[in-house]
Amino acid sequence: MTKLDLSNKRILVTGGAGFLGKQVVSQLIASGAQADKITVPRSKDYDLCEWEACQRVVDQQDVVIHLAAHVGGIGLNREKPAELFYDNLMMGTQLIHAAYQAGVEKFTCVGTICAYPKFTPVPFKEDDIWNGYPEETNAPYGVAKKALLVQLQAYRQQYGFNGIYLLPVNLYGPEDNFDPSSSHVIPALIRKVHEAQVAGEKQIPVWGDGSPTREFLYSEDAALGIVMGTTDYNDEDPVNLGTNREISIKDLIELICKLMDYDGELVWQTDQPNGQPRRCLDTTRAKERFGFEAQVGFEEGMKRTIAWYRANAQ
């Protein structure tokens, strides 16, 4: 199939007002989409867990990019597993069905790295996604999102519906969630260092022992990958979006301290959980299938994120 020309397409971006969604909208416009033809539904107007809302939002749309999710850290996953399963499954499965019925030309579904099995060989390859059960704390969320991959493959097989499924690794960047009760590791550590500096504290407590590794993708790069997949990829196979570079939590916090000029001591709380030991993606398929490679180096992305936080910290 030829490249999808976005210039005259009506495009729906669920979750388009969020941290990643704003970047996706910007990348769509940079790729030729017309700003006045991009629709970003707001949750106060459309509850996507309701069938009628899904029918209304997809009406007259040519392309749907589904980013909206009910998501949070380990705490929320432990506290509300049923809500996370139900909301993510209902939103996604009804939106896909409504889009198929409405004759939508292209559906891009953004999945989650939590869909991978708890014990996946590193780097994670897309073909390993069914080789085991996800990590227990986020399994309800991960399984709900993984069901959407099956649905898109089934709809392609039976109806010829062109839906793709992308798996971005952990994201970071300006406008991330820096709320200490629900933020992920990078914004949580940036805030922790900043607050220690403001208070003149010479020690920072950090969970675990620093040994786990993680991979991070700058939000602008993730958005670029999502838009490239939308325009250039038309197969049923899921595709990872990442950098194929892992960094230990110890090296991560030391880099943040260096970039923020903090010279205090790190106190490792080894009685606290480490989480999954390693997380790193095989990114070969994205490069081979639609030419995506991350553009922003990790240190550069971290500098931009820290600068944004410092400019906006209350």
Binding-site residue positions: 15-21, 145, 168-171, 184, 192, 207, 214
Active site residue 100: no
Choosing from 100, 116, 141, 165, which is the catalytic residue? 141
Which of 122, 124, 169 has its CA nearest to residue 294? 169
Question: For 46-79, how does the pLDDT look when each residue is reduced to its tens digit (9 = 90+)?
Answer: 999 999 999 999 999 999 999 999 877 767 778 8
> Which residue ranges are tagged as binding site for substrate?
192, 207, 214
Look up tokens 């139900």; give the residue: 86
| pLDDT tens digits along 227-268 | 999 999 999 999 999 999 999 999 999 999 999 999 999 999
pTM equals: 0.94
Q: Which residues have CB under 8 Å from 146's CB, separation 6+?
A: 111, 115, 129, 134
